[in-house]
Amino acid sequence: MKHLFVIIDSLSNDYLEKSNMNFIKKFSKQNKKFKVKMNPSFTNRYEITMGKTSKENDILFDIVMGDSPYKKLKRIFKPKTNFSERKILTRWLSMVLFRTRFNPVNIPGFLLPYFSEDKKINQMREMERKRSDSSFFSMLEKKWIDTKIIVGSVEDIEFMLKSIDSDFVFLHYSRPDPIGHVHGPDSNEYKNEMKEVDVSIKKIIEKNKDSLETVIITSDHDMVKVKKTIDIWNELTNIKSKLIEDYLFFINSPVVRFWFKKKSAESEITLILSKMEKKGFGRIMKDKDFITYSITKNKRFGDLIFWLKPGYCFVPDFYMGLEKTKGMHGYLKFSDLPLIIKSNKKFKTKPKFSRDIIKVMGEIFGE
């Protein structure tokens, strides 16, 4: 192994500085450390690997309004006001029955026929897998640098590394994210997981210290402690406008998105959200927000988007269901993330955003 790239899921710069991740903190002092900003999105990894914003990649949410593999369910399910969770076995059986990889998670059965995975996300995955010219993996392979990608827990990564002999290894420690959601970023569970990641990275670097020429360590987003939950489901399913006939909605944990079929539904829902704005719960996205945060604007993501302020979360939502989430990310703000770079080669770029990492790699690897 000559080159190591590490993404630690949900690690903010502030958390790292206050944490017991002693090896990474020491490593950062011995090398170059930057605080970079990540744009709000639910597709952060592609901003890193493609070096482009949400607007440039035209991706934002992984589930969008579109041609659903579950569209036949329209004949079966009717709108209802009570929210129920979907068991994991039922999710799996649904995917098998409808021959799809689109996990229905906790999307209500009567809304499921109107939503699908965003095809753009699948295209991004293919671009990474096939080493598209748009990704830094292609840059590396043009230099005949063999690359491998491993995503998973500490145990997954350490096991798979035993059988890999590549020049460039890309590791994504993904388990801190679900632990942060369930237990919160100030919990012992989250603290212990981050310490395990720290120890794992230490072992990998020390084992390969004689051959390593480049080490890059960063994160894809932060994790914010949830202080308040809001039930918007109950309010939206008990208004004058009729679901399906007049409007559709999708609840991401810190976001609710709407598609309108009637102007009257848009007016009624905008009034509800305006009241939430006045209470300080969050805000309706305006044109200036799309510009400020370089977010793509496309009807498949919603005609209207309401974003909660950091520390607030919708319960229930269509991912976590009725579970009261204790940690969340994806808020309408720039996330401050750590970026640590050790390289035998000099580079001039001083990265300010996560998307600038690809510029640094271009200098290091001679593009």
| Mean per-residue pLDDT, 268-297 | 95
Residue 274 has pLDDT above 60, yes or no: yes
Clarify whether residues 269 and 160 are in a common domain.
no
Clarify whether residues 79 and 219 are in a common domain.
no
Residue 32 has pLDDT above 80, yes or no: yes
Q: Which tokens go with 289? A: 């927000």
Lowest mean pLDDT among 12-26, 111-125, 184-198: 111-125
Among 34, 43, 338, 325, smallest CA distance to 185 is for 325
| H helix or E strand, kind and range, residue 256 | strand 255-260
Sign, CA torsion 162/163/165/168: negative
Clarify whether residues 152 and 206 are in a common domain.
yes
Clarify whether residues 287 and 272 are in a common domain.
yes
Q: Which tokens go with 63? A: 């589930």
Which domain, by its residues, includes 97?
63-117+227-325
Q: Give residue-wise pLDDT tens across range 45-91.
A: 888 988 888 898 889 999 999 999 999 999 888 888 889 998 999 99
Mean per-residue pLDDT over the chain, rounded:
92
Q: Predicted confidence band at 324 (pLDDT cuts at 50, 70, 90)?
A: confident
Q: Would you give the DSSP letter of residue 169?
A: E
Please list the residues that pair with 229 across neighbouring strands. Answer: 313
Clarify whether residues 178 and 307 are in a common domain.
no
Clarify whether residues 316 and 184 are in a common domain.
no
> In a 3-state reduction of DSSP, which class is residue 26?
helix
| H helix or E strand, kind and range, residue 18 | helix 13-18
Provide the CA 140 distance to its chain's centre, in angstroms.
25
CATH number, position 38: 3.40.720.10
Q: Which tokens go with 11? A: 């690690």
Q: Which tokens go with 305? A: 């988007």
CA atoms within 13 A on the CB side of 254: 28
| Mean per-residue pLDDT, 296-307 | 95
Q: Which tokens go with 279? A: 């209470």
Clarify whether residues 19 and 124 are in a common domain.
yes
Clarify whether residues 53 and 136 are in a common domain.
yes
Clarify whether residues 138 and 185 are in a common domain.
yes
Clarify whether residues 205 and 103 are in a common domain.
no
Q: Rounded distance, CA 9 to CA 12, Å? A: 9
Clarify whether residues 112 and 232 are in a common domain.
yes
352 or 130, higher pLDDT: 352
pTM, rounded to two decimals: 0.91
> In a 3-state reduction of DSSP, which class is residue 186?
coil
The confidence score (pLDDT) of residue 132 equals 56
Clarify whether residues 142 and 219 are in a common domain.
yes
Q: Rounded distance, CA 231 to CA 236, Å? A: 9
Total domains in the chain come to 2
The confidence score (pLDDT) of residue 107 equals 95
